[in-house]
Amino acid sequence: MIDRSLAELPLFKGLSDAQLAVVQAGMSRISLDAGEPLFAQGDVATRFFMLLDGRLKVSQVNEEGRQIIVRIVHPSELCGFAPALGRESYPGSSEAIVGSRLLAWPRSRWEPVLGAAPSLAISAIQAVGRKLDEAHTRLREMTTEEAGQRIANLLLRLIRDSGEVEGDRASIPFPLTRQDIADMSGNTIHTVSRIMAGWEARGVLARARRKVIVADMPALRAISEISG
């Protein structure tokens, strides 16, 4: 029996019943609690995934042994698509930031599913492109921008991708610790804590536990252009 809910997902809209049957073959559903791992860096890539709802973070351990967050996975995006990269293992680790639900397929289903739903290939290419763009952006920011600018630009990117905006206020709708912000902006947690505390005192940010709420978006944009 065809799971008609698949046809409502952005990547599978417009597919015929025959195509949906190919997509559905071997598919399973996974639920993760906040903080629960999906896979670890170096694990054999036995499956690939699509996020239905929730948020995931993907991190990598660098040569110095430091864990760096390299990507936030949003609903309807692919994750763990090592077959598309010609890899036998996962290049990073992934865990749920909040409670999340995913679709999963065995690695052997990559080509059949891709044949039935070419939009998956586009999604994978876009994800790789975003990762490369973010890596280039991070490198440029590390060499040309001060700590405050890097933090401001990171928050603006996260708000652009998934933020909830109302007037001059905005929030990032998933938990984000200052350690996460430090990892993603190339700063130390001490620097991030000092700068963000200063922004809270100035009214740029609103105080919130494990969540980022921007009280003054124009001020944050100004900081992203001129270090502060």
Query: Considering 109, 140, 171, which residue would you say is the last residue of a domain?
Result: 140
What's the rounded mean pLDDT across residues 158-184? Answer: 90
- Sequence-separated (6 or more) residues with CB below 8 Å from residue 189: 178, 179, 182
List alpha helices for the chain, DSSP H: 17-24, 82-85, 110-116, 119-144, 147-162, 178-185, 189-202, 217-225
Query: Considering 90, 108, 140, which residue would you say is the last residue of a domain?
Result: 140
What's the rounded mean pLDDT across residues 125-150? Answer: 68
Based on the fold, state whether residues 163 and 135 are members of the same structural domain: no
Number of compact structural domains in the chain: 2
Torsion on CA atoms 89, 92, 95, 100, rounded to nearest 10: -70
Q: How far apart are CA 73 and CA 51, in angstroms?
A: 8
Based on the fold, state whether residues 88 and 9 are members of the same structural domain: yes
What's the rounded mean pLDDT across residues 72-98? Answer: 90
Quick one: pLDDT at residue 128? 67
8 A C-beta contact, residue 105 and residue 48 = yes
Based on the fold, state whether residues 150 and 106 are members of the same structural domain: no
Based on the fold, state whether residues 106 and 47 are members of the same structural domain: yes
Based on the fold, state whether residues 160 and 218 are members of the same structural domain: yes
Quick one: pLDDT at residue 228? 44
Q: Residue 180 maps to which CATH number?
A: 1.10.10.10
Based on the fold, state whether residues 59 and 135 are members of the same structural domain: yes
Based on the fold, state whether residues 72 and 125 are members of the same structural domain: yes
Q: Residue 18 maps to which CATH number?
A: 2.60.120.10
Total-model pTM: 0.78
- DSSP, residue by residue, 21-49: HHHHTT-EEEEE-TT-EEE-TTSB--EEE
For the segment 187-228, what is each residue's pLDDT rounded down to a tens digit? 889 999 999 999 999 999 998 877 899 999 999 999 998 644
Q: pLDDT confidence of 142, banded at 50, 70, 90?
A: low
Domain that holds residue 212: 145-225
Based on the fold, state whether residues 105 and 27 are members of the same structural domain: yes
Quick one: pLDDT at residue 133? 66
pLDDT above 70 covers what percent of the chain?
Answer: 91
For the segment 17-68, what is each residue's pLDDT rounded down to a tens digit? 899 999 999 999 999 999 999 999 999 999 999 999 999 999 988 777 777 8
